[in-house]
Amino acid sequence: MVIRFILLMALPLMAACVTTGVGTTPRQPVSGFDPNQIAKSDIDRVAEAHQREVFAGLKLLTEKLYRRNPREWRKGGQASLEAAVARIFETNHGWVFKELENKRGTDAIHLAFREDFAGDRVLALVAGLGGMVMTAFNDKSELFLLDDLDPQALFNAARNVEIAVWKLSNAAAPGGEPWLLSNEGAGPVKNLSFEREFGKVIGSLDLLSKIIADKTNRIVAKVFQNLASAIFLPVKF
């Protein structure tokens, strides 16, 4: 009991050292002894591992999207593709960008497919996804014993990624061309690498939702929509 009391008293101090809500990618594991690990449960560590996988996937997808759509990073005035990616994943911005009208989460995703949006559509899509996922993680880049993730929020986040992927593949500009080039279905060899990477992101969110629901005996409402007419689901309740 004494040890547990000490740990609980120490949690606010540990949490105060962790950047939440303003960072980008999750905190990477520290090699060697990390005192913060004392205040984590197994579920916290599993959740952090899934969070890292999700953002690693989003970063890879960003690089791939910029390669296929170089005009987008140039719209943002970036010096290179690498600089555009680093801006999203290696600077503190809270997933809010002025050129995205300070919109966050799914509101930013909509900009990527809006006709009157003249900015960087890759930024809108990825920053929107990043902010939406961080909201599902309660804007925490590191989790401790007292943190409580909502499995419904994680499940809804996975469905929202599915909706965004559908829009990426099917939403088209007035001239019929896609807003952003991704998968290539034509030609002798199909390029479905985008689909596979997005599938990994969705799978990580779904699996974590199930793990937390099973651990906490909570029920997740499995809402599946027609992607062509689907609206983004809430990830904050």
Structural domain boundaries, residue 151:
40-216
In a domain, 23, yes or no: no
What is the pLDDT, as a whole number, of residue 191? 67
In a domain, 191, yes or no: yes
Who has greater pLDDT, 187 or 54? 54
Contact (Cβ atoms closer than 8 angstroms) between residue 99 and residue 118? no
Instruction: Give residue-wise pLDDT tens across range 16-48.
Output: 444 444 456 676 665 554 555 565 778 888 999
What is the pLDDT, as a whole number, of residue 17? 44
- Section 120-147 average pLDDT: 93
In a domain, 7, yes or no: no
In a domain, 106, yes or no: yes
In a domain, 143, yes or no: yes
Lowest mean per-residue pLDDT among 17-31, 80-94, 128-142, 150-164: 17-31
Contact (Cβ atoms closer than 8 angstroms) between residue 189 and residue 195? no
Band (5; pLDDT cuts 50, 70, 90)? very low
What is the pLDDT, as a whole number, of residue 76? 87
Total domains in the fold of the chain: 1
In a domain, 101, yes or no: yes
- The answer to whether residue 174 scores a pLDDT higher than 80 is yes
In a domain, 227, yes or no: no
Closest by alpha carbon to 108, among 135, 91, 127? 127
SS3 122: helix
pTM across the whole model: 0.86
Lowest mean per-residue pLDDT among 19-28, 58-67, 215-224: 19-28
What is the pLDDT, as a whole number, of residue 185? 57
In a domain, 149, yes or no: yes
Band (8; pLDDT cuts 50, 70, 90)? very low
What is the pLDDT, as a whole number, of residue 13? 45
What is the pLDDT, as a whole number, of residue 69? 96
Count Cβ atoms below 10 Å from residue 126 Cβ, excluding itself: 26
Task: Determine whether 201 is exposed, middle or buried from the number of CB atoms within 10 Å of its CB (0-12, 13-18, 19+).
Answer: buried
And the tokens for 216? 């906490």
Contact (Cβ atoms closer than 8 angstroms) between residue 198 and residue 47? no
Longest dimension (CA), the chain: 68
% pLDDT > 70, the chain: 80
Question: What's the Cα-to-Cα distance from 34 to each of 14, 31, 47, 104, rounded to whole Å?
Answer: 11, 8, 17, 32
Band (172; pLDDT cuts 50, 70, 90)? very high
